[in-house]
A and B are shown apart, each in its own frame.
Chain A
Amino acid sequence: MLRATGVSQSFGGERVFDDLSVEVDAGEVLGVIGPSGVGKTTLLRTLALSLEPDEGTVALDGTDAWAAEESDRLALRRRVGMVFQEASLFDASVRRNVEYGLRVRSAWSDRIAAAVGLAETPDAVHESLDVVGLADKASQHAASLSGGEAQRVSFARALAYDPDVLLLDEPTSDLDPRNTAVIEDAIAEARDRDIGVVVATHDMHQAERVADRVAVLLDDGITEVGSTERIFEDPSDERTRKFISGELVY
């Protein structure tokens, strides 16, 4: 469904990754593991169509996003959701945060009606909050939430508009075990909804728990992609094996 082929990215003349290819299908969870600073976030932003690659293509269902017209690219971008490491909630209620993605996709008349409080809250908002166990917090202000709750709202915000692909950038790196478990359950729920999920994480145990396939991203790009079981039990690449066993220290 979402496929990056031969993509390269650089910032300030410095290459982040080169000739990298990765894909995720509907109803699949792809874990991208690798040490901090190796370019996982840049890869996810590239997949989210927020960053144009220096080289290569990013295609959704065969449509090359960066070869398409801007309006078509916006339509493609709106089929992809992303959750960042920081929740970055808007200065508004939980409900307003979660319905944002739905509102930007609706007509201006509906948006104005919602802004002045004349529109009903879409069912998808309650359903998404229910997935992350925060249905009772809809009316609270985002600033009143704990860090874990804020990240769960951030997940619900991306889930509410039913994306085809969901990209998660270190979604539980700052969370306690309970909130981590809620997010991991929500990832499973997204997969059950036939959403393709990409989880970038430096927590290999988490990748082992949630991912169907794993891509290992090291300094020189993706060293290996395969089923989670094979990557963790029988990696074919020597650098992957060293990274997973902890011998490759960053």
Chain B
Amino acid sequence: MPLEPVAQSLSAVFGAPEAHDLSLFFNLSLLLDFSLFRDLSLFLDLPLFLDLPFREGYVRSIIYVSLYVSVTAVTLSTLFSVPVAVLVGFSEFPGKRFVKSVVNTGMGFPSVVVGLLVLFAVSNQGPLGSLELVFTREAMIMSQFVLATPPITAITLAAVSGVDDGVRDAARALGGTRLDVALVVLKEARYGIATAILAGFGRAVSEVGSVLIVGGNITSADGISKTRTLTTAIQLEARQGQYETAMVLGAVLVALVLTVNAVVVHFGDEGVTR
């Protein structure tokens, strides 16, 4: 709910609040909403972060959880997807086109459905119920793994399949084993694979629905994130009208994605000169 108009209405009724009239703000914060207190303080031009009810380390813990969950999920997904893509790309078998279609379809799979399926899997009645993973980071990793795997596999498969047959032939004719040929193909396809990993990371780190369902968007009593990620925090802050905080968290999220992208491109460019 946009709170600035509310604050303006209140100031119209009660008159412009004085900075020293703290009791008014205390009462308002109890009567209306804790978040309104922040908007009223903004109304008084107080510094943005000075009065946020966040404990020290709140934002940092959100970034940590986001990175921990997404990087772990994408790493696991890469370790799974790249060999699968190479295997599928290198071999001819009945139903190969069907496998490709399934993988491509997976790219558009609704994330909330993935979250729901993972939640069922880890719930008490689910097959992984005994592991007690409901509302844990591990469950979030599982759901992000499921989401990141199709794009990483599909884009890697396209990249591997796009490597010139002549390069494979040359590697083999020069004495390479199957493993050597596979390594050459992976190296030739490295930009495509980097793009695949970036796409997977992008999908994982910007995902809201499934991590909200399986993670629960939880913070501890001291305000430190347990399963709250940048996206779920942005969703919560925006819903509570804390647009400035949501924007800051959004900027952090964009900066993270840009940084990861820049690192991958940098190392890719370095590899070319070798």
Q: Are A77 and B175 in contact (CB under 8 A)?
A: yes
Partner-binding segment picked from B3-11, B130-138, B162-170, B249-257: B162-170
Q: Is A161 an interface residue (CB 8 A)?
A: yes
Q: Are A81 and B173 in contact (CB under 8 A)?
A: yes
Q: Are A84 and B272 in contact (CB under 8 A)?
A: no
> In the docked arrangement, what's the CA distance between A74 and B169, Å?
15
Partner-binding segment picked from B30-38, B180-188, B198-206: B180-188
Q: Is A91 an interface residue (CB 8 A)?
A: yes
Over the window 72-113 of chain A, the binary record of Cβ atoms lying under 8 Å from chain B Cβ atoms (1 yes, 0 no) is 001001100110101011111100100011001100000000
Q: Which of A74, A93, A101 contacts B174 (CB 8 A)?
A: A101
> In the docked arrangement, what's the CA distance between A78 and B180, Å?
13
B169: chain A residues at CB < 8 Å are: 50, 84, 88
How many residues of A are in contact with the other chain, CB < 8 A? Answer: 26
A158: chain B residues at CB < 8 Å are: 173-174
> In the docked arrangement, what's the CA distance between A30 and B171, Å?
24
Q: Are B188 and A74 in contact (CB under 8 A)?
A: no
Within 8 A of A (CB), among B140-197: 164, 166-167, 169-177, 180, 184, 187-188
> In the docked arrangement, what's the CA distance between A177 and B174, Å?
27
| Contacts A50-B169, A96-B274, A141-B273 given; does A90 touch B175 at CB 8 Å | no
Within 8 A of B (CB), among A120-175: 141, 154, 157-158, 161
Q: Is A117 an interface residue (CB 8 A)?
A: yes
Q: Are A88 and B175 in contact (CB under 8 A)?
A: no
Over the window 225-267 of chain B, the binary record of Cβ atoms lying under 8 Å from chain A Cβ atoms (1 yes, 0 no) is 0000000000000000000000000000000000000000000
Q: Are B170 and A117 in contact (CB under 8 A)?
A: no
Q: Is A217 an interface residue (CB 8 A)?
A: no
Closest to B172 in A: A50
Q: Is A48 an interface residue (CB 8 A)?
A: yes
Task: Tell me, rounded to whole Å, the shortest Cβ–Cβ distance linking A65 to chain B.
Answer: 14
| Contacts A91-B272, A93-B274 given; does A84 touch B175 at CB 8 Å | no
B184: chain A residues at CB < 8 Å are: 90
Task: Tell me, rounded to whole Å, the shortest Cβ–Cβ distance linking A250 to chain B.
Answer: 25
How many residues of B are in contact with the other chain, CB < 8 A? Answer: 19
Q: Are A104 and B180 in contact (CB under 8 A)?
A: yes
A78: chain B residues at CB < 8 Å are: 175
| Contacts A74-B177, A141-B272, A141-B273 given; does A90 touch B172 at CB 8 Å | no
> In the docked arrangement, what's the CA distance between A100 and B176, Å?
9
> In the docked arrangement, what's the CA distance between A77 and B172, Å?
9
B174: chain A residues at CB < 8 Å are: 81, 100-101, 104, 157-158, 161
Q: Which of A74, A90, A105, A117 contacts B167 (CB 8 A)?
A: A90
A77: chain B residues at CB < 8 Å are: 175
Q: Are B274 and A84 in contact (CB under 8 A)?
A: no
Q: Which of A88, A89, A104 contacts B177 (CB 8 A)?
A: A104
Task: Tell me, rounded to whole Å, the shortest Cβ–Cβ distance linking A119 to chain B.
Answer: 12
Closest to A91 in B: B188
Closest to B190 in A: A91
Closest to B165 in A: A88
Task: Tell me, rounded to whole Å, the shortest Cβ–Cβ distance linking B185 to chain A.
Answer: 10
Q: Are A101 and B187 in contact (CB under 8 A)?
A: no
A157: chain B residues at CB < 8 Å are: 170, 174
Task: Tell me, rounded to whole Å, the shortest Cβ–Cβ distance linking B172 to chain A.
Answer: 6
Closest to B167 in A: A88
Closest to A98 in B: B174
Within 8 A of B (CB), among A38-97: 48, 50, 74, 77-78, 81-82, 84, 86, 88-93, 96
B180: chain A residues at CB < 8 Å are: 104
Among B174, B272, B274, max chain A CB count under 10 A is at B174
Q: Which of A89, A117, A154 contacts B274 (CB 8 A)?
A: A117
Task: Tell me, rounded to whole Å, the shortest Cβ–Cβ distance linking B73 to chain A.
Answer: 28
Q: Are B273 and A100 in contact (CB under 8 A)?
A: no
List 10 A-B pairs, minimum CB-CB distance, nearest first: A88-B166, A82-B173, A78-B175, A101-B174, A88-B170, A104-B176, A86-B166, A104-B180, A104-B175, A88-B167
A91-B272, A100-B176, A101-B174 known; 4 other A-B pairs, CB under 8 Å? A88-B169, A90-B170, A90-B184, A90-B187
User: Could you pull out 6 A-B pairs where Cβ atoms are within 8 angstroms?
Assistant: A78-B175, A101-B175, A104-B175, A141-B272, A157-B174, A161-B174
